[in-house]
Amino acid sequence: MLEHGGRLLQAALKYRIEPAQWLDLSTGIAPFTLPLPAIDASAWQRLPETEDGLEAAARDYYRAAELLPLAGSQAAIQALPRLRGRSRVGVLSPCYGEHAHAWRRAGHDLVECAEGAIRRALDRLDVLVVVNPNNPTGRLIEVQQLLHWHARLAERGGWLIVDEAFIDCTPEHSLAAESHRPGLIVLRSFGKFFGLAGARLGFALAERDLLTCLQRELGPWTLSGPSRLLGRSLLADVAAQQVQRAALLSAGERLAELLRQHGLAPLGGCALFHWLLHEQAAQLFDFCARRGILLRLYRNPLGLRFGLPGDEAGWQRLDAALLAWNEENP
C-alpha cells in the first residue's frame, strides 16, 4: 500500500497525541470550506439518480462538453489502465504515486520520467500521465505544451491523461475545455478546492465514447446521493467559489513567505501547498510531529510538503515550531 497524507489517526497513535490536538498540514486539502447546503433525508433513503442536476452543474463549472462523476478521481486512476491493452505508459515523475502504481499493477510497460525526457520518449509511448500542477512539486506545465504532447500521442491512438486535482485556484491553466478531443482525459478532484475530501467526489472529462467505457467499468451507483447533492449545490455557487479562491491564493502566498522567513524557501507549490527539498526532511518531519504538527514526508526525492493552516492559531503554531527548529539546528 502506498503512503498518503491525512493519516492523522496513525500519527496520533505513534506520537501519543490525541487527534483533536493535531495541526494536520499533510494533505494539500483546503482547510476551510464553502457554506454547506442542507441535505434532505430522502438522499439517504433512496438510490442516487443521475437526473438530479449534478452533471449539468459540473459541466458549467469545468466548462467541459462531457464528463463522468466519480467516487473521487482515484476511481478513474484505478480504472483507466483496465480500458487499454498492454501499453507503453509514461508517468511524469515525481508525482502522485497512485498513477504509476495503477498502470504497473494492470500489467502495462511503465516508465517514470522527468519532464526533460518527455520529448525523447514521447514517440515510444502510448499513454502519458501528467499531474498539473504537479503533486508534490507544484510544477505547472503550460496548456500549449500539453496540447502539443496530446496531438503527438493522438496521432497513434494514444492518450494524454492530465490530473488537475489542484488546479481550481488557477482555472486558466486547465485543459477542461479541451477535453472533448479524442485521447485527452482530464481528471478533476472536488475535495481539494472545496475542502470536502470526505465527500469522495471527482470527475473524468473526456470524449463521450471513452466515458461510456469508463462508466461500464465502474458500474452503477458509484456516488452516494448526499455527495451528488452536495456537489451540485457547491459547483453552482459562483460567489462562494470566488471567496474560496481568493482566500486560498492569499493563504498560499502567506505560507510561502512564512517558510522563506525560516530559511525553508519552497522550490515550488500552488495555492494549497508548498514543497521543498531538505537533507534533514525526516528529522524536521519528526520534530514537528512531536509537537502535533503533521507534514507530508517524501523519501524519493527527500522533501516535505506543507499544507495550509486553517486558522490564525494554526499559523502561529507552525511559526513557533519552525522557529524552535532553527534554534535547535542553527
pLDDT at 156: 94
The pLDDT value recorded for residue 1 is: 59
pLDDT in tens, the chain (330 residues): 566 776 899 999 999 999 999 999 999 999 999 999 999 999 999 999 999 999 999 999 999 999 999 999 999 999 999 999 999 999 999 999 999 999 999 999 999 999 888 888 999 999 999 999 999 999 999 999 999 999 999 999 999 999 999 999 999 999 999 999 999 999 999 999 999 999 999 999 999 999 999 999 999 999 999 999 999 999 999 999 999 999 999 999 999 999 999 999 999 999 999 999 999 999 999 999 999 999 999 988 899 999 999 999 999 999 999 999 999 987
Residue 226 · residue 242 · CB < 8 Å: no
Q: Determine the pLDDT at residue 300.
A: 83
- Cis peptide upstream of residue 133 (ω within 30 degrees of 0): yes
Q: Which three cell numbers stand for residue 275?
A: 514543497
Q: What are phi and psi of 131, to 5 degrees?
A: -100, 125
DSSP secondary structure of 278-294: -TTHHHHHHHHHTTTEE
pLDDT of residue 2: 64
What would be the CATH architecture of the domain defined by 47-236? 3-Layer(aba) Sandwich (3.40)
Q: Three-class SS of residue 111?
A: strand
Cα 57 from Cα 136, distance rounded (Å)? 29
How far is Cα 317 from Cα 330, in angstroms, rounded to an integer? 20
Q: Domains of the chain: which residue ranges?
A: 8-33+239-328, 47-236
Asked if 90 and 127 touch (Cβ cutoff 8 Å), the reply is yes
pLDDT the model gives residue 130: 98
Q: What is the pTM of this model?
A: 0.95
Q: Assign domain 8-33+239-328 to its CATH architecture.
A: Alpha-Beta Complex (3.90)
